[in-house]
Structure 1
Amino acid sequence: MSNLIEDLFHGNLRLDESIHPEHSEYQEINRQISDLMQDYKTQLTESEYDALEQLIDLIGQSTSMYVEAAFEQGFRTGGRLMIEVLSKP
């Protein structure tokens, strides 16, 4: 059994690799995105498609930053909750 603190120290903790959304429509949405991108690739010029990909990459970067901030906020809130729970008799 691994030690969470040791894994954290050694950089072995990769929470982002263990995220698997449980929403039933998640896979379907990803399939639709893939289908739409394939359609755009055939309908747009190469430069237009490249611009679309750039936009999608920027949205992905923005979303990643937001998710990271949300994770940090949730982690801090959980820590404060534990302190409150453990400090009250």
Structure 2
Amino acid sequence: MESMIEKIYNGSLQPDAYINPQDPEYRKLTKKTSDLMEECQKRFSESDFSFIEEIIDLYGKTYSMHSTASFVHGFKIGALMMIEVLSGKEQT
């Protein structure tokens, strides 16, 4: 079995691949988004729909960057808490 460090090194550790929101509203919103996209595809010209898809793709990329930064920040906070706990010193 690979250690966590080996998984990180080999690129096989992908925490976001296991995220499955448990909020019941998540599935409803996902379905509504999908339905609205299908409606847009029917209503708009191919060019207009492509424009909408481009906006959504850009939003997805920026959201992914924000999620990555949030994960890194949270990980660093967790590491700092562990250092504080293991050192037995309170930092003020």
Q: TM-score range by the shorter chain?
A: over 0.9
Letter of the 1:43 counterpart: R
Q: Scaled by the length of structure 2, what TM-score is found?
A: 0.90
Kindly state the Cα deviation for residue 72 of structure 1 after the two structures are TM-superposed: 0.4
1:49 and 1:10 map into 2 onto residues whose CA distance is: 39
User: For residue 23 of structure 1, what is the aligned residue in structure 2?
Assistant: 23
Letter of the 1:9 counterpart: Y
Kindly state the Cα deviation for residue 3 of structure 1 after the two structures are TM-superposed: 2.1
Q: Indicate whether 1:46 and 2:46 are aligned.
A: yes
Kindly state the Cα deviation for residue 6 of structure 1 after the two structures are TM-superposed: 1.8
1:80 and 1:13 map into 2 onto residues whose CA distance is: 21
User: For residue 67 of structure 1, what is the aligned residue in structure 2?
Assistant: 67
Structure 1 residue runs without a partner (length 5+)? none
User: For residue 85 of structure 1, what is the aligned residue in structure 2?
Assistant: 85
SS of equivalent residue, structure 1 residue 25: helix
Aligned-residue RMSD, C-alpha: 1.2
Q: Indicate whether 1:35 and 2:35 are aligned.
A: yes
User: For residue 7 of structure 1, what is the aligned residue in structure 2?
Assistant: 7
Structure 2 residue runs without a partner (length 5+)? none
Aligned residues: 89
Identity of counterpart residues, as a percentage?
A: 38
Q: Scaled by the length of structure 1, what TM-score is found?
A: 0.93
